[in-house]
Every structure is written in C-alpha cells, then in structure tokens.
Amino acid sequence: MRWIQAAGRGLLVLVVVLTGYVAAGAQAGEPSAGSRGPLTLATAGDLTGYLGPLLEGWNRTHPGEKVTLVELPDSADETQAQMITDLRDGDRSRFDVLNIDVNWTSEFAAAGWIRPLPRDRFPLKTFLQPVVDTATYDGQLYAVPYVTNAGLLLYRKDVLAAEGVDPPRTWAELERYARTIAPKHGLGGYAGQFLPYEGLTVNAAEAVYSAGGSILGDEGERVTVDSAAAREGIGFLARGVREGWIPREALTYKEEESKQAFQDGRLLFLRNWPYAYVGASAPGSKVAGKVGAVPLPGPGGPGTSVLGGSNLAVSAHARHPDSAARLIAYLTGERVQRQVLTRGALPPVRADLYRDPALIRRFPYLPTLRTSVLAAAPRPKSPRYDQVSLVVQAVVNDAMAGRQTPAAAVRRLARELAVISRG
C-alpha cells in the first residue's frame, strides 16, 4: 500500500511492504504471549490498492497477530481529525497502530493518546539520526520513524549548463539566476509551496532555519521567532514576490501545482520533496533528463530543510501493545525499509540504504537527500501545533503578498504565537 498526502506535511506517506520475517522484529524482545493478539492499523486512504495483499504476508507468518487495515480519508487534516475522534473514545478505540505525520507526535503525546515506547526495542541507531527527534516529545520516544523526507532544490541542469554556471548554493546566487537567467529562457525563476496551508509553514520554517533562526523552543513553551534571522528568512520570500523572481502565481501553489509547473518546463528552480524529482524525471515529463537536485540554499551556503515523513505509534488503548511494537519493529527492519525505497521511491529511515551503490544507481538523488536529511530540523514542536501552523501561514502569506513588511510580520507572529503558547 502506498498512501500519499502531499499537503505540506512533508509528503506524508505510508508504504508497507511485507516480505517475510525481519530480524529487527525477532530481536525486539519476547514478552509473554498474553500481550499479543490481533491488531488494527489506521492510515489514510490506500490510493494504489496493494496494501491489502501485502498485509496478507504478515498475517500468514503471524496468524495470532493478524492486522486489519482501517483506511481513513486521503486528506491529512481529515485523517488527523478521525484519529483524534477515535482516540478520545478511550477503551472503545478501534485503532492499535497509527501512522501519523511527524508533526502530530507532540500533540498526540501531550494529550496521552499514544504510548511512550522503550528505545531499546527498535533499531534507532540504524536510522538517519535527525528523524528520531521527530518521534520524541519531552525527551521520551512516543513513535518510531517509518518514512522520512527533506526538501530539495530541483533545477534545470540543461539551462544552467548552457549558461555555464553551477547550481546555486546561496540565496544570493538563487536570486541572481532566477532574476537574470530564467527570463532569458522563458521560465519563471523560483517557486515553492506558497499557498496559505501547511506547505507554507514548511517553506517559511525552512527560510527562518536557514538564516539561523527558530520559531519555538522548549516544546512550544517559548517563542523564539522575534529575531534578525526570522526577518531575513521571511524577507527572502517576500522580496522574491515583490521583485518578480518568485512568480505571483506561486502564491497559489501546493506540492502538486508546483511540481506540475516545473515538470511542464515553466520554472528554473523549485523547492519540493524528492517525489517531485521522480515525477519530473519520468517518461512523459517535458523536462525528463534535464533535472538536477541539490540541498536547499541558505544565506551563506547550504540551508536547512524541514523534516517530513511519517511515524508509527501505538495507541494508548491498544489491545495488544506487544504485537503492535513487534509490527513496528518489523516495518522498520532493513528488508522492508529497502522496499519502501525500491517499490515506492520514498525516503527510508535506515541510514545504510543511502550508501548502497545499486540503490544510488537507481535513485541518483539519494546522496543529496541524505545530506539534506542530516542537516534538516523538525517543524516547531508544540502540543498546539495546528494553531501554530495556522498563524505562521496567515502571517507569512501577508508578508509575501505585500500586505505587511517582513519586520512587522515577525513582530505580529511573535505576539500571536505567545498567545498560543500560554494556552
């Protein structure tokens, strides 16, 4: 099964490939059989139709721990709402294992809806280490990373080669090429996901982080956004629209719209997730064979991406928590993680896969993606993350649309986030 909700939540994806018993599950410990039994796995809608057959592989080898799939809506927001409704039912909850967006972990943990997990039960040391932080809250592990993601800068390598320049490493280079080279070739300069939705929160956070700033600290209890770095980051985005090297149309882009614009040959540069590289490079794309990818640039060199992806968590009301943990260990084992990449072209969390020569030949962006993930940071952690994100979207949209200066936007953002942090 693959479900994809590319709504700025970091290409929220679950890919489950079950092909036999994985050592990680066997080594996770063997508590009493009484804590084992059937499970329900809750995820967003299966868009490809192959999850059912694959889950049959687990069910054949674990007849006493069969998994039933519950598909929720494709929309991440609707999925989150339905999960929360179910979890609030307490002992009547249907769900045992939850596939949650990485930025839901803090909210679910703070509310007591998911169980803390023992770190030694899962192969965390084999993961790309920044992804582990997305699964923690208040110093405790509450989920296990399953799929990761980081933003990349896609570029037209044919156009840059014709101009004799390397891909940009800094904002200044990006601005200069987007302002001067793009028009010569009939292209828009630079775009990201700038519609006021979760994707704009991601793009704004990346700009602030890349400039050396932050938005919240102390698990959302402290507001840190009122800084020169935040003004620089939001100013970079606002300046692009004002000067025209970010097309005004980009203010309407989500992941798919921006991917399509690049894939149709209308942009020189695009910030997006790796799936956009795969699509733009596929047969039928107008830019197939002409696409390169580098880490996001920052003011003085490589910038900082926001981490995306999904984590697997155990409901606080799981009927058989040991079986739930065994399933999660299974899904994060090397064999399944390898197939997350080879069957889904999706970023696994296992670090060794990013150095596999055969995989790199098939997925040439892997070294760049590894660099981006290792330099990435989570979105602002807060038990009231949805409110935080809505405020960021509204304020940054006003700044990019020219309704507020970046300095005024940062001051307003600090005030509104302070209200949220006080509850």
pLDDT tens digits, one per residue of 274-329 = 989 999 999 999 999 999 999 999 999 999 999 999 999 999 999 999 999 999 98
Instruction: Reply yes or no on whether the pLDDT at 183 is more than 80.
Output: yes
Please provide residue 295's backbone torsions phi and psi, each rounded to the nearest 5 degrees.
-60, 155
**Bridge partners for 222 per DSSP:** 217
Residue 145's SS3 state is strand
Residue 286's pLDDT is what? 98
pLDDT band at 383; cut points 50, 70, 90? very high
pLDDT per position as a tens digit, 71-116: 888 777 788 999 999 999 988 889 999 999 999 999 999 999 999 9
Instruction: Reply yes or no on whether the pLDDT at 15 is more than 50.
Output: no
- The pTM score is 0.86
pLDDT band at 45; cut points 50, 70, 90? low
Residue 2's pLDDT is what? 35
pLDDT per position as a tens digit, 249-285: 999 999 999 999 999 999 999 999 998 999 999 999 9
Mean pLDDT, residues 366-377 taken together:
96
Q: How far apart are CA 168 and CA 351, in angstroms?
A: 26
Instruction: Reply yes or no on whether the pLDDT at 184 is more than 90.
Output: yes
Residue 78's pLDDT is what? 86
Mean pLDDT, residues 344-367 taken together:
93
pLDDT per position as a tens digit, 112-128: 999 999 999 999 999 99
With a pLDDT cut of 70, the percent of the chain lying above it is 89
Q: Under a CB-based contact definition with an 8 Å cutoff, are residues 392 and 384 in contact?
A: no
